[in-house]
Amino acid sequence: MSAFSLPIVPRYAEVDQQGVVFNGHYLTWFDEACTGLLEDLGLAYPDLMATGYDFQVVHSEIDYRASVRWRDSVRVTADCVRIGSTSFTIAFGVHRSSEGAEEQLAVEGHNVYVLVSTEDWTKRPIPPSLRDALSGTATR
């Protein structure tokens, strides 16, 4: 499968009163990394929509290992770890480093996405082009 990495510098608005990134923002970062992964695999989201497909998050899971603070250097990794008949799972890692410190895994999680039709919003089998891209077997 294909790994992708998205650099992020936490913005002031993403930090809570405790001085750390508010937990809800990690899902936003996961979403950005998923979009980046698909684009890196040659699958722009608007192109997927134009073919009558969309995908929806049906399950999210997050484990917090360490705090991420304002202006830390962050790298969000995304990797497709499972492809089913109508769904796929993307695993995410939030890796942080601050000045003079080694990078550490601060947050990890995954989202399960179900592919749906944009006509009636019912689930659909994953088409071969998406399956090939997610499995890293697509030719570009």
The CATH number of residue 76's host domain is: 3.10.129.10
**DSSP category for residue 20:** B
| pLDDT at site 36 | 96
Distances from the Cα of 108 to the Cα of 16, 29, 30, 65, 127, angstroms:
20, 11, 10, 8, 28
- At which residue do the structure tokens 């992020």 appear? 8
Q: Is the pLDDT score of 138 beyond 80? A: no
Q: Which of 53, 59, 54, 68 is CA-nearest to residue 16?
A: 68
Where would I find the H helices in the chain?
25-40, 45-50, 128-135
Q: Is the pLDDT score of 2 beyond 70? A: no
Strand order across the 3-8 sheet: 3-8, 73-83, 87-97, 104-117, 53-64
Question: The domain containing residue 76 runs over which residues?
Answer: 5-136
What is the domain count for the chain?
A: 1
Give dist(CA 136, CA 43) in Å, integer.
Answer: 12
pLDDT bucket at 1, cuts 50 / 70 / 90: very low
What digits encode the pLDDT tens for the residues 10-45?
Answer: 999 999 999 999 999 999 999 999 999 999 999 988
